[in-house]
Amino acid sequence: MRRRVHVVGIGGSGLSAIARVLHERGEIVTGSDQAANALSDALVRDGIPVVIGHRAENVAGADLVLVTSAVRQDNPEVAAARAAGIPVMRRENFLEELTAGLRTIAVAGTHGKTTTSSLIAWILRCAGRQPGYVLGGISPDLVGNAAAGGGSIFVIEADEYDRAFLGLHPSLGLITNVEYDHPDVFPSRLDYRQAFEAFLELIQDRLIVCREDPVAAELARAGLARETYGLSAQADWHAEEIRPNSAGGSDFLAFHAGASLGLMRTRLPGRHNVLNALAAMAAVVDFDIAPPDLRQALTEFRGVQRRFTIAGEAGEVTVIDDYAHHPSEVQATLDAVRGRYPGREVWAVFQPHTYSRLRALAPDFAQAFAGADHVVVTGVFASREQPLPGIDAAWLAGQIAHDDVQPAEALDEAARLVLARLRPPAVVVTLSAGDGNRVGEIVLEALRGK
């Protein structure tokens, strides 16, 4: 008998993906959220009813209610479910059931996990393995952020926020890096690291870590097979002779255990994406994928939406939309812009994401924008948080070590600042995990004369 699973907050990246997998597995899935978005709209098109607004009657007849940590306990749907004796589960508590009986590949890390997990799923799919997957973003190649799959392999982006990844028991665990983040959940850097150490204990068979990251490189567990990847020959998987290619990404020679695997090509810019490609290669090594098939899959992969996405071009100005919202991500993206567009003027428009992150990582943000010629800082995208007095665009602009940095609380004001001084050929990159990409849209509209 099919269950009816009701998902509270179904428009979020994590729960929308789980909802899609359950739907494809034959469960009756319904959901609700405060507002519609692209993810919830896609679910509706695929036959999953989504109600806008949270009301007690939405859970009537449900066998299980799934929620995220962002949903308060006094939410009317949660309260109604508990009153009716309907089990209420948080996402992390459901992950074990979601992946039960499957050979699970879990990709964790502060940065790069969405691209790396998407690339792993893509390689396996190209090789005919029919993997299931749950991703934190949308890949144009995979056509969505989730699929039930048709085999025994399941790829999942292992999210550390609220320690959600501790609900997994993966066969393979991959850790891209461990840099302090989410201070609203992890009060200290030690708390953050300890969450990854706890995740390490849940891995069943094999661990892959990035040797370039000092914390990830230290992670190991007795009795657990472990490999490293990086840009030096000391790593088990490494790259040499990294060069820009005509597709906007990198060509490189790949090596495993000292043996050459030949020339690899990726469309994704930046050295960080060479690392992501190496990680994916290491993750799929046990699936007997022929080297030509692996090379072709790497070459064809187009990335993930909002990860160095070309939003448009007009009048010798290229606008890039990127999800970077952590200092290291900002720096890596700007380095990739410089590598792909040498000699162009670079504008960085940064929308801070959450007050707690901005306050905790301000010293790191201060040094993150050296790759830009001009920096515009917008108001904070609060997400789940309340404002902190004195923490705003002007405050951060005053912290950033740069000769040309300007605050602009409103997004349209930020766009006007850019347009007033933009001198083609140039690149405008919006760095935002919120709606800061709207600045790029306004700039493109103005340049196109709309």
HEC sequence for the chain: CCCEEEEECCCCHHHHHHHHHHHHCCCEEEEEECCCCHHHHHHHHCCCCEEECCCHHHHCCCCEEEECCCCCCCCHHHHHHHHCCCCEEEHHHHHHHHCCCCEEEEEECCCCHHHHHHHHHHHHHHCCCCCEEEEEEEECCCCEEEECCCCCEEEEECCCHHHHHHHCCCCEEEECCCCCCCCCCCCCHHHHHHHHHHHHCCCCCEEEEECCCCCHHHCCCCCCEEEEEECCCCCCEEEEEEEECCCCCEEEEEEECCEEEEEEEECCCCHHHHHHHHHHHHHCHHHCCCHHHHHHHHHHCCCCCCCCEEEEEECCEEEEEECCCCHHHHHHHHHHHHHHCCCCEEEEEECCECHHHHHHHHHHHCCCCCCCCEEEEECCECCCCCCCCCCCHHHHHHHCCCCCEEEECCHHHHHHHHHHHCCCCEEEEEECCCCCCHHHHHHHHHHCCC
| Higher local confidence (pLDDT), 77 or 144 | 77
- Give residue 160's pLDDT: 94
The fourth-level CATH superfamily of domain 99-300 is Mur-like, catalytic domain (3.40.1190.10)
Q: Are 295 and 262 in contact (CB under 8 A)?
A: yes
Per-residue pLDDT tens digits for 263-296? 999 999 999 999 999 999 999 999 999 889 999 9
Q: Is 4 left (phi over 0), alpha (psi -120 to 50) or beta?
A: beta
pLDDT band with cut points at 50, 70 and 90 for residue 315: confident
Q: What is the pLDDT at residue 51? A: 94
Q: How confident is the model at residue 332 (pLDDT cuts 50, 70, 90)?
A: very high
Give the residue from 287, 290, 227 showing the smallest Cα distance to 262: 290
At which residue do the structure tokens 């906007």 appear?
248
Q: Is 197 a residue of the active site?
A: no
Please, what is the end-to-end C-alpha distance for the chain in angstroms?
Answer: 55
Of 30, 99, 110, 114, which is the active-site residue? 114
Binned at pLDDT 50, 70 and 90, residue 38 comes out as confident
Which regions of the chain carry the CATH code 3.40.50.720?
Answer: 4-90
The residue annotated as part of the active site, out of 77, 92, 157, 212, is 157
pLDDT digits (tens, 9 = 90+) for 405-426: 999 999 999 999 999 999 999 9
Which amino acid is it at 16? S
Verify whether residue 113 is a known catalytic residue.
yes
**Contact, 39 vs 13, CB < 8 A?**
yes
Architecture (CATH level 2) of domain 4-90? 3-Layer(aba) Sandwich (3.40)
Split at pLDDT 50, 70, 90, the class of 3 is very high
pLDDT band at 347 (very low <50, low <70, confident <90, very high): very high
Q: What is the pLDDT of residue 162?
A: 87
Catalytic residue chosen out of the listed positions 104, 113, 179, 228: 113
**Band of the pLDDT at 2, cuts 50, 70, 90?**
confident
What is the arrangement of strands in the sheet containing 309-314, beginning at the earlier edge strand? Answer: 309-314, 317-322, 426-431, 345-350, 374-378, 405-408
Residues 6+ apart with CB under 8 A from 346: 334, 337, 338, 371, 372, 373, 374, 426, 427, 429
CATH 3.40.1190.10 maps onto the chain at 99-300
Task: Measure CA 385 to chain center.
Answer: 20
- What is the pTM for the complete model shown? 0.91
Confidence check: pLDDT of 1 > 80: no
Residue 450 has pLDDT above 80, yes or no: no
Tokens of 390: 């004195």
Q: Are 136 and 157 in contact (CB under 8 A)?
A: yes
pLDDT tens for 207-238 read 999 999 999 999 999 999 999 999 999 999 99
Domain 309-447 CATH class label: alpha beta
Q: For 138-193, how does the pLDDT look when each residue is reduced to its tens digit (9 = 90+)? A: 898 997 899 999 989 999 999 999 899 999 999 999 999 999 999 999 999 999 99
- Dihedral of CA 254/256/257/262: which sign? negative
Percent of the chain with pLDDT over 90: 85
Is 413 assigned a catalytic role?
no
